[in-house]
Structure 1
C-alpha cells in the first residue's frame, strides 16, 4: 500500500505532525502551498465562511496512492482555506482517507472532521479515521510532543 501525507501548515504545527505521520507510515509527504500568503485575520475570516484560496499546482498524482492522509490546522473552528481548495480539486475516488488536525482547543474538532468527511465522500473517497493534536500557535509543537499522539494513532489503525 502506498501512502501520501498532504497538508497545509501556517505556523509549522501541522507540518511537524505531518512529518511524524509520514515517517511512521513510510509515506510520501507533500505540503500545499499558497500562491500568495494570507494574514491571520484573513485566514480566520476565510475559513469561517468556508472560502478557498489559490494554491500552487500540485506536483503529485493522488492516483499513485492507496491511502491519503489529509492534515489541516483548525482556523475559527473550521478547515483551513488551503485544504478547502485542495478538497475541491482532489480526485479521491477509491482512496482510503485519514484526517488529522492541529488546534489550540483541547476538544476534538468534530465539525472539521464532518466537513472534510462529507467532501471526501462526495469525491468517492472513504474516511477511515481522524485525530487531532492540541498545539499552541506561539509555541510550535516539537517532534517529541507530536510523536506520542501520532504513534498511538498509527498503532490504533494498524498502519505502522
Structure 2
C-alpha cells in the first residue's frame, strides 16, 4: 500500500502509557503538518499500573484478558473526517495496549486507510495489527510500522519510506 494522495486528510491518533508513543506521534504528526490527538483512558495509568514486573499490575491484567475494554475519557479523537489515520500505541505483551481495543471498536473505519505504528521494547507489530483490524471489521489496514522510542524525525521519515508510505 502506498499513500500518495496529497489531498487525503491525514490524522495521527495515539495512546501512550509512558510517553514513548506520544513522542513518536508528535514527530510523525510534524512530518504531515497535523496535530497529534491522544486517546486518553478515563482512569489514567500510574507508574504502578504500568509496572510489568508485577504480575497483577493493571496493564498485565488488561493485556491477558482479551475481553478487557478500559473506559476512555469522554473526548475520544474523532476520525470521521479523515481518509488516512496513523494509529499509534505501545505493545503490551506482544499486542496493542488494551485501550486500543476500546478505541478501535468505537470508531467506524469504513473507507479509511489505517496505518498502525507502535513503540515496543522488542515485540513486532504484526499480532497487534491483526487484533485491531479484526476488532475494527472495516477499513484498509496497512501492515504497520515499528518505531524505536526516541526516534528522530529523520528516522521516522526513513521508516515511512521503507514502509512504502
Normalised by the length of structure 1, the TM-score is 0.83
Equivalent residue, structure 2, for 1:68: 85
Going from structure 1 to structure 2, the CA distance change for 1:60 and 1:80 (only over 3 Å counts) comes to closer
d(CA) in 1 for partners of 2:104 and 2:76? Answer: 16
Report if aligned partners of 1:48, 1:77 keep a CA contact under 8 Å in 2: no
Shift in Å, 1:157: 5.3
- 2:110 corresponds to which residue? 93
**Contact 1:94–1:126, Cα closer than 8 Å, also in 2:** yes
Query: What 5-or-longer segments of structure 1 have no aligned partner?
Result: 136-140
For 2:61 and 2:152, how far apart are their aligned partners in 1?
28
Q: What residue in structure 1 maps to residue 12 of structure 2? A: 5
TM-score normalised over the length of structure 2: 0.80
Whether the 8 Å contact between 1:5 and 1:27 is mirrored in structure 2 is yes
- Using a 3 Å threshold, how does the CA distance of structure 1 residues 156 and 26 change in structure 2: closer, same or farther? farther
Distance 1:14 1:151 in 2: 16
Which digits, 9 at most, give the CA deviation of each residue in 1:22-60, with x for residues without a partner?
111223321011111231221122022231111112354
Number of residues of Structure 1 aligned to a counterpart in Structure 2: 148
Q: CA deviation at 1:9?
A: 0.4
Whole-Å Cα distance in 2 between the matches of residues 59 and 74 of structure 1?
A: 20
Q: Conserved in 1, the CA contact under 8 Å of 2:39 and 2:77?
A: no
Matched, 1:35 2:52: no
Deviation, 1:68, is 0.6
Unaligned runs of 5+ in 2: 1-7, 51-56
8 Å CA contact 2:96, 2:128 repeated in 1: yes
For residues 70 and 30 of structure 2, what CA distance do their matches in structure 1 show?
29
TM-fit CA distance, 1:73: 0.4
Per-residue CA deviation, residues 68-105 of structure 1 (Å, 9 max, x unaligned), is 11111011212111111101101111001000011111
The counterpart of 2:148, out of the listed 112, 134, 138, is 134
Distance 1:156 1:66 in 2: 21
Give the equivalent residue in structure 2 for 1:138. none
CA RMSD of aligned residues (A): 1.9
Indicate if the aligned counterparts of 1:97 and 1:129 stay in contact, CA closer than 8 A. no
TM-superposed CA distance for 1:108, in Å, is 1.9
Q: Is the 8 A contact 2:14 2:25 kept in 1?
A: yes
